[in-house]
């Protein structure tokens, strides 16, 4: 991108992503992002009033990239319980891959998750909403038993935290994590099926 092109939020976010990857979240500053763009840090602050706002926007953009695959699973055809499993698997495997392939970004996400920042809360809400829609459909078709699909979705999300919460990333060693996922899912599936 030409340094003479207008400074937009999108350009800033692209530069912030690259800066985060180069320096990591702890060492990245707004000045680094401005330097990468060839502008003053004041120009960046006109778009993002604080470093936290910029970091939130970058991580939100990173998290948003997961959502189409999750929504596709939730909106897909087939057995509801299997779609719940596949949605949880897609979420977990995406995070496992990103933790390995994009460690600086994953570290930024992990920091925000610990602080319960807005992008992480919005991401959790999105995932729980996807689970809720599949469980609701499963209840309507008699494939899942739940008096409250939203509460069931929250419980399922929480029960699988070891597989998607960045605080548990030290445990994401394969093939052990695959086996653990299958075991927890078997318990959850049995609890979701109608009696």
Same domain as 88, residue 163: yes
Q: Residue 126: pLDDT above 90?
A: yes
pLDDT digits (tens, 9 = 90+) for 8-56: 999 999 999 889 888 877 788 899 999 999 999 999 999 999 988 998 8
Per residue, what are the HEC states of 43-90?
HHHHHCCCHHHHHHHHHHHHHHCCHHHHHHHHCCCCCHHHHHHHHHHH
User: 83 and 76 in contact (C-beta within 8 Å)?
Assistant: yes
Same domain as 121, residue 44: no
Provide the whole-model pTM: 0.89
Residue 57 covered by a domain = no
Same domain as 74, residue 43: no
**What are the E-state strand segments in 56-148?**
none
Same domain as 127, residue 31: no
Same domain as 125, residue 97: yes
Residue with tokens 């800033």: 12
Which tokens is 65 given? 């990239």
What is the domain range of residue 39?
9-49
Confidence of residue 1 (pLDDT cuts 50, 70, 90): very low
pLDDT: which is higher, 87 or 18: 87
> What pLDDT, on the 0 to 100 scale, is given for residue 23?
82
Question: Measured between alpha carbons, how far is 135 from 167 in angstroms, rounded to an integer?
Answer: 26
Residue 4 covered by a domain = no
- Omega before residue 175 within 30° of 0, cis: yes
Residue 146 covered by a domain = yes
Same domain as 107, residue 44: no
Average pLDDT, rounded, for the chain: 91
Confidence of residue 3 (pLDDT cuts 50, 70, 90): low
What is the CATH classification number for the domain harbouring 23? 1.10.10.60
Same domain as 174, residue 93: yes
Question: Measured between alpha carbons, how far is 93 from 195 in angstroms, rounded to an integer?
Answer: 31
Same domain as 67, residue 43: no
Number of separate domains in the chain: 2
> What pLDDT, on the 0 to 100 scale, is given for residue 4?
64
Same domain as 71, residue 43: no
> What pLDDT, on the 0 to 100 scale, is given for residue 2?
52
Residue percentage of the chain with pLDDT more than 70: 98
Same domain as 127, residue 40: no
Of the candidates 91, 99, 85, the residue with the CA atom closest to the CA atom of residue 67 = 91
Residue 81 covered by a domain = yes
Residue 54 covered by a domain = no
- Number of Cβ within 10 Å of residue 15's Cβ equals 22
> What pLDDT, on the 0 to 100 scale, is given for residue 105?
77
> What pLDDT, on the 0 to 100 scale, is given for residue 77?
95
Same domain as 35, residue 129: no
Using CA atoms in the order 17, 44, 59, 130, what is the torsion angle rounded to 10 degrees?
A: -120
Residue 87 covered by a domain = yes
Helices then strands (H, E): number in the chain?
Answer: 11, 0
What is the CATH classification number for the domain harbouring 147? 1.10.357.10
pLDDT digits (tens, 9 = 90+) for 88-123: 999 999 999 999 998 877 887 787 778 778 888 999
Question: Measured between alpha carbons, how far is 5 from 110 in angstroms, rounded to an integer?
Answer: 33
Residue 1 covered by a domain = no
**Across residues 62-86, what is the average pLDDT?**
96
Same domain as 162, residue 132: yes
Question: Measured between alpha carbons, how far is 177 from 195 in angstroms, rounded to an integer?
Answer: 29
Residue 56 covered by a domain = no
What is the 8-class DSSP label of residue 29? -
């Amino acid at each position: 991108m030409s340094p003479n092109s207008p400074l937009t939020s999108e350009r800033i976010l692209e530069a912030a992503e690259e800066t985060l990857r180069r320096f990591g979240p702890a060492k990245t500053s707004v000045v680094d992002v401005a330097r990468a763009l060839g502008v003053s840090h004041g120009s960046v602050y006109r778009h993002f009033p604080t470093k936290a706002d910029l970091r939130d926007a970058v991580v939100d953009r990173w998290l948003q990239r997961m959502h189409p695959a999750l929504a596709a699973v939730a909106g897909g055809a087939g057995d509801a319980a299997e779609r719940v499993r596949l949605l949880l698997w897609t979420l977990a495997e995406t995070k496992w891959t990103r933790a390995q392939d994009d460690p600086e970004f994953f570290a930024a996400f992990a920091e925000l998750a610990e602080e319960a920042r807005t992008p992480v809360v919005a991401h959790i809400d999105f995932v729980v909403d996807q689970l809720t829609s599949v469980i609701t459909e499963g209840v309507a078709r008699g494939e899942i038993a739940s008096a409250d699909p939203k509460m069931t979705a929250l419980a399922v999300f929480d029960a699988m935290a070891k597989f998607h919460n960045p605080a548990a990333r030290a445990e994401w060693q394969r093939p052990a994590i695959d086996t653990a996922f299958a075991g927890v899912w078997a318990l959850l599936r049995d609890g979701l099926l109608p009696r």
